[in-house]
């Protein structure tokens, strides 16, 4: 047979034909924009390793969220960067702390037209930079940390968030937070669980942005081993049983197989976190003229959706919303 029977190129001839058979949709409503708010600064501070991103003041936070919202992005995650840190991270649950003030500002600015999500963790707030309180031997004490997560969840619920997003990878964190919220009557406050969060090298720029690099050791005692995907499924199932409303896999690009498995095997609403290092790589290469930043970004985001993520937390949210 000299000629092929199949002619798939027929359907690639024009953009209209390509759109006709496109399988994966990517639009601004699939994107969640992460933002940083810093206490005690008069002006927003650029984050060098994350071009285009700033540690915001309360005022610039509102303005940025409004601009991004107007581009059709539906949801925001906030990270607070406090002035004062201590071994317990007590600013994390201070009702007047920078995290809660930032969340209230977002709620006020966006009303109920957009989803406000609070990252729930201690590493930005502890002076040692770990995601929980330390035991005598320097390891992170799981169960004492859960009590502190419960306090943070309540402070964030009081600030008016739709969802809290525990990112510390403590055992039992979703159940503990669910119980605390329910006991205080916050039955409508949901949980976006960072269910499978890997101990990744791609969090570097974030640790500059949130000023939360561990002062000793690393996070391999609580975050997952990059080699494991069966374990990721167990983590996700546990979080669903404990009461998560959405689950997340983090980072995204080295874990597309995990995203695919989680979606196929659970069918649960799934977010993927396209993390700071993934963003920084694209920006650095684009700034050097080595890749086309716009095309690379849209290809990456479409790839994460194609793998099975319903939602993507991404630092590209603002620019991608412009391009979509
Ligand atoms: C921990 C947290 C981290 C990120 C989000 N939440 C950092 C870490 O685990 O060290 C990283 C996100 C990113 O790199 O974009 N609270």
Residue nearest to atom 14 of ligand 1 (CA): 203
Question: Tokens representing 320?
Answer: 């991608």
- Report how far residue 198's alpha carbon sits from residue 177's, in angstroms, rounded to the nearest whole number: 21
- Report how far residue 319's alpha carbon sits from residue 324's, in angstroms, rounded to the nearest whole number: 9
Which helix H or strand E contains 38, and what residues bound it?
strand 31-38
Residue 250 annotated in active site: yes
Quick: pLDDT tens for 53-112.
999 999 999 999 999 999 999 999 999 999 999 999 999 999 999 999 999 999 999 999
Exposure pattern of 10-33 as b/e (b: 16+ CB <10 Å)?
Answer: eeeeeeeeeeeeeeeebebebbbb
Contact 266, 247 (CB under 8 A): yes
Instruction: Write down the pLDDT at residue 1.
Output: 63
- Report how far residue 275's alpha carbon sits from residue 169's, in angstroms, rounded to the nearest whole number: 16
Instruction: Write down the pLDDT at residue 3.
Output: 86
Residue nearest to atom 5 of ligand 1 (CA): 167
Q: Which residues of the chain have pLDDT under 50?
A: none
pTM (two decimals): 0.97
Which atom in ligand 1 lies closest to the alpha carbon of residue 194?
A: 6
Question: In angstroms, how far is the first alpha carbon of the chain from the final one?
Answer: 43
Quick: pLDDT tens for 121-148.
999 999 999 999 999 999 999 999 999 9
Residue written as tokens 């979703």? 174
Residue 197 annotated in active site: yes
Among 117, 120, 123, 124, name the best residue to mutate to test ligand 1's pocket (greatest count of ligand atoms within 8 A of Cβ).
123
- For residue 199, the CA-to-ligand 1 centroid distance in Å is 10
Q: Assign residue 138 a region (left: φ > 0; alpha: ψ between -120 and 50; beta: otherwise).
A: left
């Amino acid at each position: 047979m000299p000629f092929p029977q199949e002619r798939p190129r027929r359907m690639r001839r024009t953009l209209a034909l390509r759109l006709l058979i496109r399988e994966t949709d990517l639009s601004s409503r699939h994107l969640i924009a992460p933002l940083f708010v810093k206490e005690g600064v008069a002006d927003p501070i650029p984050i060098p390793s994350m071009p285009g991103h700033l540690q915001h003041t309360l005022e610039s936070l509102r303005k940025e969220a409004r601009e991004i919202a107007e581009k059709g992005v539906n949801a925001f995650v906030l990270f607070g960067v406090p002035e004062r840190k201590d071994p317990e991270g007590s600013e994390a649950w201070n009702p007047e702390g920078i995290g809660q003030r930032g969340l209230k500002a977002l709620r006020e600015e966006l009303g109920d037209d957009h989803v406000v999500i609070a990252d729930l963790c201690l590493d930005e707030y502890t002076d040692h930079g770990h995601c929980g309180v330390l035991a005598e031997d320097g390891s992170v004490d799981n169960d004492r940390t859960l009590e502190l997560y419960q306090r943070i969840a309540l402070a964030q619920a009081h600030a008016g968030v739709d969802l809290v997003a525990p990112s510390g990878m403590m055992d039992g964190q979703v159940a503990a937070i669910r119980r605390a919220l329910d006991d205080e009557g916050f039955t409508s406050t949901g949980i976006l669980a960072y269910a499978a969060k890997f101990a990744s090298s791609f969090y570097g720029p974030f640790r500059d942005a949130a000023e939360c690099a561990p002062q000793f050791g690393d996070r391999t005692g609580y975050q997952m081993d990059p080699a494991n995907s069966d374990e990721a499924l167990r983590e996700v199932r546990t979080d669903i049983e404990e009461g998560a409303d959405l689950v997340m896999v983090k980072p995204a690009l080295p874990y597309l197989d995990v995203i695919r498995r989680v979606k196929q095997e659970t069918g649960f609403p799934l977010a993927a976190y396209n993390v700071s290092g993934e963003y920084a790589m694209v920006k650095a290469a684009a700034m050097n003229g080595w890749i086309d930043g716009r095309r690379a970004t849209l290809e990456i985001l479409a790839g994460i959706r194609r793998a099975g993520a319903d939602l993507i937390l991404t630092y590209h949210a603002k620019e991608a919303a412009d391009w979509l």
